[in-house]
Structure 1
Amino acid sequence: MSGSTLEAMAQAVEESAAVLICVSKKYKDSQACRTEAEYAFQQRKKIIPVVMESGFKPTGWLGALMGTRLYFDMSDARRIPAKMPHLMKELADSGKCGQLVVPKHGSSHHHSAAPSRPSTTCTTKENHNIVVDKWTSADVELWLLKTKLGEYNSVFSAKHVDGMALRGLWRISSDPRYVHELLEKELGMETLGHKLKFMEELHRLCS
């Protein structure tokens, strides 16, 4: 693994709320995957194992890393529709905003309060003055390109998905089964990897 690749991997782990590990023989035999998984463990990130190979029993470093962690068995494609909502909920719980900053009445100081549900106003971490609610469809397309999901630009544009629509998706993410069906049937997002990536990026954007 080259220096630039290693640095990019480390940054991705550090900025993640949770790290999925794909449990298979190829994953176990990959030095790059091992480095990434062990770094996630070192950084105390939430690790979510997803079993991708039927009959594979993880041993060694991968078996130790899994330990008694909750895992999702998706080695059989027929199980994915039933397992997907639970996995999305696990990711959603990992990406929830822990605290909401609320100004005190009559004071310029702030205090923190735990919200009972996700904040109704989504702002980017890069600049909290940018309110996602005000995004146009073109802004959403730029965001999709940035998150390497640009192949869905045309369908998002055709469905008039703007910032308010993204906020709507964020607010209903507590119902992962419905979101899973919506992404697939309405927005043409059929692959498991793309759905998980989209939801992770959405939670990162709105938390």
Structure 2
Amino acid sequence: MISYSHKDKELCLRIHEQLLKDGFNVWIDRDCLYGSTMAGIANAIENSECVLICMSNTYKESVYCQSEAHYAFERRCRVIPIILQPNYKPDGWLGIIFIRLYSDLPNCITQWTHDHVKLFLLQTGLGNTILPLCTRVDGQRLLQLYEMCLINSESMYQSLKFELSERHHTLLPIADYLSFLHETKLYLPSTSTNVKTARSSFLSSVTCNFM
């Protein structure tokens, strides 16, 4: 599948035609003949061996392209970037996508920067739920959030759910909350496998506000 901005249509159709000549079966949105376009795109992403993302400034500015790219990553599709503009360097949300393709997370959460946290949450499919709550959170603060969740899981779930609903008008499924705890655990430093009792009384009194 080719994901592209319609402002780059001429070049992307040439790429599509060349791939067809080379023997590849490549879906592009003009092939969507039945049903809604978004349904056709979602179906193409779900059934493609890989997704070609045609990166450009117009791609970055398109909310539809952003939805396609994020869905492809949440589905853990194989993504191949194509830079359409000379010397173009993806930034913003597209820059994060680009970093995901070529960067690995440090093994320990305490070494993570803000960008690593964003990368982690996008990779684990939590970009629409946990990420909005952690826009300025580095690895140390993410670890603190994780430990607070361990201390009082139900209370923290309700706090995060309320904040996400009030500030971002989005629901926090319990499955995403549990996924956050499970995925974060894989990157804990060896000294943080258990939360110390002495610390729990302090953390349980802290108001949850990571914005």
Larger radius of gyration: 2
Q: TM-score, normalised by structure 1?
A: 0.33
Structure (1/2) with the larger helix percentage: 2
Q: TM-score, normalised by structure 2?
A: 0.32
